[in-house]
A = this chain, B = another copy of it.
Amino acid sequence: MQKNEENTSDNSVFIGKRPTMNYVMAAMVILNRGTECTIKARGRAISHAVDVAEILIHKFFPSAKYKDIRISTEHLTNDDGKQSNVSSMEIVISPN
């Protein structure tokens, strides 16, 4: 379930438990390529994702803008076979 949490694949940054600045830097690398960056998080990491996005835009990449903010529910199966619903969020940031 937590496999992707520090991955950056296809211009996405998955927010996990590492320090905020790790994710800010990962997002900057993507934006510096001139491509859009999507910050993704689930459950409690959603608050952290908002922090990452706000610090990125206000302190490190002022030309960047929010392009889309989506929230949804994912249906996950735990290791013991139980279904659970978890909220998720995707913040799409464009470099300019």
Contacts and interface: CB of A to CB of B under 8 A. Distances in A.
Number of copies: 2
Interface stretch (A25-33, A67-75, A76-84): A67-75
A85 B47 CA distance: 13
A40 to B, nearest CB: 13
B54 A50 contact: no
A66 interface: yes
A47, A51, A58, A91 — most chain B CB neighbours (10 Å): A47
Nearest to A68: B69
Nearest to A71: B50
7 contacts: A45-B47, A46-B46, A46-B47, A50-B71, A66-B71, A69-B69, A69-B71
